[in-house]
């Protein structure tokens, strides 16, 4: 019985933390991280200040949880896209492009991403969360490239370039909103990743349409 109560309490606390973190995202989407305060978050969530102080160590903790939730949305989209892919190349392409689907290119989402990146420079807890999420995404992408059989050092070098390019595409799209430039950039990232595949596999070489899907 005590174990069941502990599980239920943990589940309720997880739900409350998510509710507060989602409220923080809503506040930031409207006014940026500079407008984020404990009172603005609990007002958005329809809760008392005590709910925040009970569930979080402070606003850095709230921001870290908000970052995790935002990234979880991207991860879920990526995994859903993978489920429909029927080859190694299609899985790489689906994963790469899932994070640039329409729901993640709205002005609110782009602002949230940029604000959280900026906050990571000044808040140690948020920076640790950002590094962990970056490493998870990188590891997932690296794992999807394993069927290509390329040397590990070559894979690491290509992933370095692609990860930096993806960050750049987010920033450029937030600044200019140029859909054509985004499509070209994703196509070039895709081509670089497919260069790791053996000749004649369909991922590299003649006969592949390089245009974005």
Which CATH number do you get for residue 198? 1.10.357.10
Q: Are residues 43 and 66 in the same domain?
A: no
Mean pLDDT of the chain: 86
Tell me which residue range forms the domain holding 176. 59-213
For tokens 């140690």, name the residue: 124
pLDDT at 206 over 60: no
3-state secondary structure 70-135: HHHHHHHHHHHHHHCCCCHHHHHHHHHHHCCCHHHCCHHHHHHHHHHHHHHHHCHHHHHHHHHHHH
- pTM beyond 0.85, yes or no: no
Residue 2 sits in a domain whose CATH number is 1.10.10
The pLDDT assigned to 212 comes to 41
Same domain, 19 and 113: no
Count of domains observed in the chain: 2
Could you give the CA distance from residue 169 to residue 183 in angstroms, rounded to a whole number?
Answer: 10
Q: What percent of the chain has pLDDT over 90?
A: 53
The C-alpha atoms of residue 64 and residue 45 are separated, in whole angstroms, by 17
97, 109: one domain: yes
pLDDT single digits (tens) 95-114 = 999 989 988 888 888 888 88
3-state secondary structure of 209: coil
Interval 182-200 mean pLDDT: 93
Residues 212 and 180 in one domain: yes
Q: Are residues 144 and 85 in the same domain?
A: yes
Together in a domain, 71 and 161:
yes
Statement: residue 87 has pLDDT above 90: yes
Would you say how long the chain is, in residues? 213
């Amino acid at each position: 019985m005590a174990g069941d109560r502990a599980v239920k309490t943990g589940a309720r606390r997880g739900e409350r933390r998510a509710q507060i973190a989602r409220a923080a995202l809503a506040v930031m989407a409207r006014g940026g991280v500079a407008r984020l305060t404990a009172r603005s978050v609990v007002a958005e969530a329809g809760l008392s200040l005590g709910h925040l102080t009970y569930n979080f160590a402070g606003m850095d903790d709230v921001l870290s949880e908000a970052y995790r939730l935002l990234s979880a949305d991207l991860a879920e989209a990526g995994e859903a896209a993978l489920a429909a892919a029927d080859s190694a190349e299609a899985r790489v392409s689906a994963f790469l492009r899932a994070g640039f689907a329409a729901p993640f290119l709205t002005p609110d989402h782009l602002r949230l991403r940029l604000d959280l990146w900026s906050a990571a420079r000044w808040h140690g807890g948020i920076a640790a969360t950002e590094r962990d999420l970056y490493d998870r995404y990188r590891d997932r992408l690296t794992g999807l490239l394993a069927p290509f059989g390329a040397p590990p050092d070559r894979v690491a070098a290509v992933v370095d370039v692609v990860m930096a390019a993806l960050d750049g595409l987010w920033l450029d799209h937030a600044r200019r909103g140029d859909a054509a430039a985004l499509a070209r950039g994703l196509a070039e990232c895709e081509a670089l990743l497919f260069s790791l595949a053996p000749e004649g596999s369909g991922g590299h070489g003649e006969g592949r349409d390089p245009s974005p899907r």
